[in-house]
Structure 1
Amino acid sequence: MHDGAVQEFAITLEQAIEDRLGQEPGWLKRDAFVQVASDYLVDDGTLEDLYVCYYVSPSGRSRMEVAGYSISDDGRVLDLVTADYGNHGQTISRDQVRRRFNWATLFATACRDGHHRDMEESSAQFDMVQDIHSRWHDIDKIRIFLLTDGRSTLQDLPSAEMGRVSITHNLWDVERLRRLATSGRHEEPISVNFEELGTPLPCLPAPNSGGDYQCLLTLIPGQLLADVYELHGPKLLQRNVRAFLQARGKVNKGINETIQTNPDRFLAYNNGISATATGVTVEQRGSETYLLELNDLQIVNGGQTTASLHHAAKRDKADLSKVQVPAKITVVQPEVLDSLVPKISRYANSQNTINEADFEANSPFHVELERLSRSIWSPASAGSTRQNRWYYERVRGQYDVDRARRHTSAKQKLFDLEFPRSQRFTKTDAAKYDLTFRELPHMVSLGAQKCFQWWTLNILTASSTLPGEDYFQDLVAKRILFEYGRSDIRKLNPGAGYLANVTTYTLARMAAEVDLREVLTTVWREQGLPEHIRHAVHELSRPVREVLLAAPGSGNVTEWCKKEDCWKSVLDIEWAGLRPWVPGQAREVVST
């Protein structure tokens, strides 16, 4: 074990936890740890998303306990996260690990059996349990993740079953989190050994490949491709910006029809997949070349094909034995991975206009936004002459890496003055702020990653224009409005749930009525909220909360907030609009 490296990472982790506590007053350190650690896994593609929500309750002679959950877009995978925080790098026992997994399993059982009927309604915990119960009939796989700041030597994590539902266990201790967070990569690599899977693939190496890549052509049996997706899920498609659409749209209906009616013609009808890897093992057997293993595998085109095959096999019990999928595999050198693979993904998807631009971290849009953040000074706030900058963190962990490059404490203090940690924001933050003031709070309520994906595909791809100084200043102003507004709303309702939802809906409702151009200009200039805007947020937040809590039908507030009908109901709130505020004066805000 690298004790020094782990201790250094633990310090960085604690700082990130403190940052999150500042953004989420009312959270315990455990909750902030879960959010920070899960962010690494979401960036990695291991988790699609996570809603942090701690719940503990007796269960017979034991207990049920979870720290958060997420359900996949297709509804078939339930992710439960449990946490063991406060170990500070010390070893945790195997029994401790097994207990946590068991508590999460007992929670899943209780959700299945309708435990929400015994809970207080209109709480985030109630929503979580009810949501899982209402969607249980679609769930066929549960993944339990134990996140811990301790160390574990436990290697054997056997799978289990709950009736027809399979359960897998995933342990992320501090050492594994450190490797992921400090590897310089956005994801933990996927390795696929075709020989171990029982199907080494005959392949054709393309002649005259470039010096920094080589190409292989092969056919992948449909069932094998579905099995690989079952093992790794959407993470296999992490570098494919459209991957999360999965089994939607006309293309996929055509794929499913071919699988069901003409599986032997799949090869003729389907263009196949394009994949990348950083390592390959091939073997010559007589006159044939066989592909045995791929390291760091990613499908950059053909995500819909892959997900559709998996869907057909799992949900429709389709026979894929006659399905063959053509595949082009580009093996690239690790040092050119981040520059070459996005281009491969972009050009492989060029037949689909929504993918004309690649909007991953290395895309021109995000690179330019980063450049602007390092060059634009913000105005000095009232009563001060000191200026500083807003730090756009294009890649997770970038802020800490930049700070660490200043090798003396004096230089790090200067960095802190120029780029205060409180003025750091990320790609998912940018999406949340922008969509809120585009009056799309129901999209923000989908969660950080889904919100970012929607923003990428529906906003950023609509324009090839790179962000300029005005765009950056407006984005920072939106950030100030959102975070100041969030803080004020929290103070009005200490300890109340749904803070993020109330915040995005309140500010979107305000944006629908005001001269947003004027407001953003004022906020950027003052680097804070003018008093009349703060009081507008105060007044609007109360009726907005009432609308959100009045969820129709199932009464699930979290799901209600994701619907456009919820936004329409908030738009029905009557409001007189911004006007100069006089201390002691109140304005009426009513909901209709």
Structure 2
Amino acid sequence: MSEIQEYHQNLMADIRREADASGVLMVEAFFDQMTARLTEAGELETADRAFYENGGGTQRIRIDGYAGDPRDSEGVLGLIVCDFADSDELLTFGKTDVPPILNPLIRFLKKARTEEFRDALNEVNPAFQISDLIIATWSQVTKVKLILVSNRRYISRDDSVKLQDLDDVPVTWSVWDLARFERFDRSGQAREDMVIDFLGDFGAPLPALKASQTGAALESYLLIMPGQLVAAIYDLWGARLLEANVRTFLQARAKTNKGIQRTIKEEPELFFPYNNGLSATAEHVDCVLTDSGLAISSIGNLQIVNGAQTTGSIHAALRTAREQLANVFVQMKLTVVPPDRSEEIVPKISEYANTQNKVNAADFFSNHPFHIRIEQFSRNVIFAAREGERHDSKWFYERARGQYINERGRRTGSDQRKFDLEFPKEQLFSKTDLAKFENSAAGQPHIVSRGAQKNFALFAKEIGETWSKNEAKYDELWYRRLVAKAIIFRKLEAEIPKQPWYEGGYRANIVTYAMAKVFHDANRANEVLDLDTISKRQMLSDALVRALLLAAEEAHKVITQPAAGMRNLSEWAKQQACWSVLEARKIDYDGDFEHCLMSKENAKKNEHDAKEMQREMAGIEAQSLAVRLGADFWHRVWEQGNAARELTMKEAQILKVCASLPRQIPTEKQSKHAITVLERLKEQGVLSIDLTDCAFRRT
């Protein structure tokens, strides 16, 4: 079986499992799973399911979902249609098969722009919601993006195709097929390499100044980019130019800088001296020598890691100040970063380069210590088997896309079956999942409703701030409570579609609002929700499920009855006011709800006990490492540290104890101190000892 056939088989199994567990149609489960990938890939800001189908033949119209308010995504209106085949066989389709799938979506768009179509529908109808949004925002729409999502394999080459403009608004379509999703799931790459060919596509290579010496660790170049060229490149490649995590971070702060746009319109010749310029990376560049000197003929996989607002403003000038763009120039610092060093280098470039927004971009990348620690917990922390099950298991945290599928793929036969028992697929969660669990419990369902990327941006900002102040907070108990939140969130996802009051749609909003409401109501003067019992049992009590569903029903009422002036329910759910309404509602939980709570005193005691146990484990681990390294090793550490005069009297005495093994065994406290000294001497460059085997996870 080929990799893509295996991927198809596993995907269909996942979709069937979710559909069966939640009682939803398979195409709805398919939509939810695949659009989660689209938002993570940066293809869409958010994705709301809004299924509508009517008519037949050449009059058939259909839509499966949309990408939120275009005013929140630089005027891009995203519409989604699903091509789902309920088949165990891997099917294919080509370019000639696209029109019958895409034309109903195009017809829907044309009809949805008319008040006649909108007013003939009930206000809670998803088609009404989209039509009303399109009518209200059409004057601000800059591009229409039609996305075809399929579980078949697309066998044509076209990735993104320009269609005829609609009232001067450009319309494009793109296909996310099975192969593209498989590439993304395995490596985070959803497209072929992006090559910007200055010579072939834009007429001439771009003059450059090499800013690195021959043999330097990284190549660097300085370029002066004409504004027209920046706008044209962005118009061609769009958000793919902007590293998804950094782009999201910037969007979470402020809208495109109005001052930048004003300079372009009123003083374009001063844009260069006023603007800080762009910081960018590329995987490779091709250079040529011209009569004027060095020039870059092409750039592979360009990423603007600092300057998203500048880039967006220059692109916006294509509509608002096209003539002035001829006088706009911007400097670019370009660094060539090999793919295998991207996680290490790009976050630092982004963090150090950004002065306008004080971006701590490292918070967003998968190699941040927070993500690494959660990954370590997820590979080591064992949860007892649920009642009625035989096997203990773990929750797999995927801090980087592709970890799970690749880790599983390295195994075959019985080893793969063991992996599936140890890490069940339903216990896989990603960075954006983690942010949804945490922010729902923290009473921010309106933020969660704004989409995975915007929610993650806020979460990462908060983690970045609290990690530096108190990274010890994120210990094993914190992780276990995180898993309890995941169990609550996913139980709601499964149970809400089965409820008699559920009319379809807005499930994601109802889930986060219901969870936030129960956590809010459980947080009393002396009590909180008992997450520790959920973590131990790996399941929810019947009493808690009843409470969650009562909150879900109330959330459904609030979301589907928006405040005056709000008609789009998805947009209403993104407002603080929506949460305020639900937060204030009184829900009569049954008496058993009290059994779902624990005293704050006991919660604090559990935290204290967990920290004590963690300290004991750290001491045991340090002592074990000190003994394993042996007397000769510690004698050399003492000799070199003493020779460099970098040891205090106390440190020298502890190292001598370690050097007298096995006659003297260092205590746990002494061992931890010795490891600390070892790490300091290593950082200072004092030691000429191989420390490959001396890794020690400090707590």
Partner of 2:587: 575
Note if 1:474 corresponds to 2:474.
Answer: no
Note if 1:275 corresponds to 2:287.
Answer: no
**Offset, 1:187:** 6.2
Partner of 1:208: 213
Partner of 2:619: none
Note if 1:391 corresponds to 2:396.
Answer: yes
Note if 1:512 corresponds to 2:520.
Answer: yes
Correspondence list, 1:519-534, <5 A: 519-534=530-545
Q: Report the number of matched residues.
A: 579
**Further displaced range: 186-195 or 286-295:** 186-195
**Further displaced range: 552-561 or 136-145:** 552-561
Note if 1:486 corresponds to 2:503.
Answer: no
Task: State the TM-score, normalized to the length of structure 2.
Answer: 0.77
Correspondence list, 1:186-201, <5 A: 188-195=192-199, 196-201=201-206
1:566 to 578, 596, 616: 578
The 2-side partners of 1:186 and 1:468 are apart by 34
Which digits, 9 at most, give the CA deviation of each residue in 1:485-541, with x for residues without a partner?
A: 333333323553322222221221121121374422222122222233222223333
**Further displaced range: 6-15 or 399-408:** 6-15
Partner of 1:324: 329
The 2-side partners of 1:309 and 1:290 are apart by 23
Q: Residue type matched to 1:472 in 2? A: Y
Compared CA separation, residues 539 and 153, structure 1 to 2 (3 A):
closer
Note if 1:36 corresponds to 2:33.
Answer: yes
2:448 to 434, 439, 444: 444
SS in structure 1 at match of 2:364: coil
Correspondence list, 1:286-435, <5 A: 286-315=291-320, 317=322, 319-349=324-354, 352-355=357-360, 357-382=362-387, 386-408=391-413, 410-435=414-439
Q: Residue type matched to 2:539 in 1? A: G
2:460 to 439, 456, 461: 456
The 1-side partners of 2:275 and 2:253 are apart by 17
The 2-side partners of 1:460 and 1:67 are apart by 36
The structure with more helix, counted as a fraction of residues = 2
Please tell me whether the aligned partners of residues 153 and 178 of structure 2 are also in contact (alpha carbons under 8 angstroms).
yes
The 1-side partners of 2:3 and 2:551 are apart by 48
Which digits, 9 at most, give the CA deviation of each residue in 1:456-501, with x for residues without a partner?
A: 2345444334432122112111111222233333332355332222
Partner of 1:586: none
Please tell me whether the aligned partners of residues 241 and 360 of structure 1 are also in contact (alpha carbons under 8 angstroms).
no
Compared CA separation, residues 34 and 24, structure 1 to 2 (3 A):
same
Partner of 2:546: 535
Q: Residue type matched to 2:52 in 1? A: Y
Compared CA separation, residues 323 and 578, structure 1 to 2 (3 A):
farther
Please tell me whether the aligned partners of residues 346 and 358 of structure 1 are also in contact (alpha carbons under 8 angstroms).
no
Q: Residue type matched to 1:100 in 2? A: I
Note if 1:83 corresponds to 2:94.
Answer: no
Compared CA separation, residues 443 and 319, structure 1 to 2 (3 A):
same
Which digits, 9 at most, give the CA deviation of each residue in 1:18-71, with x for residues without a partner?
A: 35435653132x333344344444333233332233321127842112222114
Q: Percent identity?
A: 34
Please tell me whether the aligned partners of residues 234 and 244 of structure 1 are also in contact (alpha carbons under 8 angstroms).
no
Compared CA separation, residues 90 and 292, structure 1 to 2 (3 A):
same
Compared CA separation, residues 478 and 124, structure 1 to 2 (3 A):
farther
Please tell me whether the aligned partners of residues 363 and 460 of structure 2 are also in contact (alpha carbons under 8 angstroms).
no
**Further displaced range: 438-447 or 11-20:** 11-20
The 1-side partners of 2:452 and 2:252 are apart by 21
Compared CA separation, residues 274 and 143, structure 1 to 2 (3 A):
same
Which digits, 9 at most, give the CA deviation of each residue in 1:59-90, with x for residues without a partner?
A: 78421122221144245111122232227443
**Offset, 1:545:** 2.0
Partner of 1:545: 556
SS in structure 2 at match of 1:128: helix
Q: Residue type matched to 1:445 in 2? A: S
**Offset, 1:175:** 3.5
1:49 to 29, 46, 53: 46
Partner of 1:588: none
The 2-side partners of 1:54 and 1:541 are apart by 22
Note if 1:108 corresponds to 2:122.
Answer: no
Task: State the TM-score, normalized to the length of structure 1.
Answer: 0.90
Q: Residue type matched to 1:311 in 2? A: A
Partner of 2:683: none
**Offset, 1:15:** 3.3
The 1-side partners of 2:558 and 2:36 are apart by 30
Which digits, 9 at most, give the CA deviation of each residue in 1:112-148, with x for residues without a partner?
A: 1132222233233432332223222211211112223
Consecutive unaligned residues of structure 2, counting only runs of 5 or more, are: 596-699
The 1-side partners of 2:48 and 2:166 are apart by 23
Q: Residue type matched to 1:80 in 2? A: L
Q: Residue type matched to 1:335 in 2? A: D
RMSD between aligned alpha carbons? Answer: 2.8
The 1-side partners of 2:38 and 2:506 are apart by 24
**Offset, 1:189:** 3.6
SS in structure 2 at match of 1:135: helix
Please tell me whether the aligned partners of residues 22 and 493 of structure 2 are also in contact (alpha carbons under 8 angstroms).
no
Compared CA separation, residues 291 and 378, structure 1 to 2 (3 A):
same
Compared CA separation, residues 416 and 193, structure 1 to 2 (3 A):
same
SS in structure 2 at match of 1:574: coil
**Offset, 1:287:** 4.5
SS in structure 1 at match of 2:513: helix
2:261 to 256, 271, 284: 256
